[in-house]
Amino acid sequence: MLQRSLEELLSKKDFEKISVGDIADAATLNRATFYAHFVDKFDLLEAVVATRFQELILSRGVSFDGTCVWAMYGIVLAVCDFLAEAPYCPQQRQVAQHMEAAMVTIVRGMIGEGLKQHPPASGADSEIVAATFAGAIHGAARQWLRTENRPDAQQAATAIAKLLVPMMTSGAPEAREAFQEPLRDLDASRV
């Protein structure tokens, strides 16, 4: 109820003008109930973003096992699409910070789980690799969103995935070679 109430309020006014009282009133709950579930409105915003982003990922059937170029592309495309379509106004500074925290946490978890199945060829710590990639994906998608006359999300996702995949296979020529054909397929799918 609280998440739904915040989403409804965000469709009417800026996040910084929404109070915990506004959210509780819209949910027909008291403030004590709000605080029993969330630390503050920022915590609730992160929960809303995480829920919606996770729903998008699940609806697209995206999962990452540490080896699939198409899964990396799917993750990047989901981040681009979510940011471009977010009704939460990601240009608002406070909102952007909390959207990033929620999305990066989910992407880091997905990549981390995949890397547990197939550790990085470089031998680097899987958690560090997952955090690096999650931050890079979100940062690249945010930059794409700010770009004037930007290409569509699919083109951006292709370009970003093509940058990331070789880094994932660094230090292991045989792994890099295994990714070359899927990378060519990724290019071909955009023609």
Q: Tell me which residue of 73, 160, 172, 185 sits closest to 119, measured CA to CA.
A: 172
What architecture is domain 42-189? Orthogonal Bundle (1.10)
Domain ranges of the chain: 2-37, 42-189
Q: What is the pTM of this model?
A: 0.83
Q: Provide the token pair at 107.
A: 């992407």
At residue 31, the pLDDT reads: 94
> What does pLDDT average to over the chain?
86
Q: What is the pLDDT of residues 24-45, one digit of tens each?
A: 999 999 999 999 999 999 999 9
Domain covering 2-37, topology = Arc Repressor Mutant, subunit A (1.10.10)
State whether residue 154 is helix, strand or coil.
helix
Mean pLDDT computed over 45-57:
94
Give the rounded distance of the alpha carbon of 10 from its chain centre: 20
- pLDDT, position 76: 95
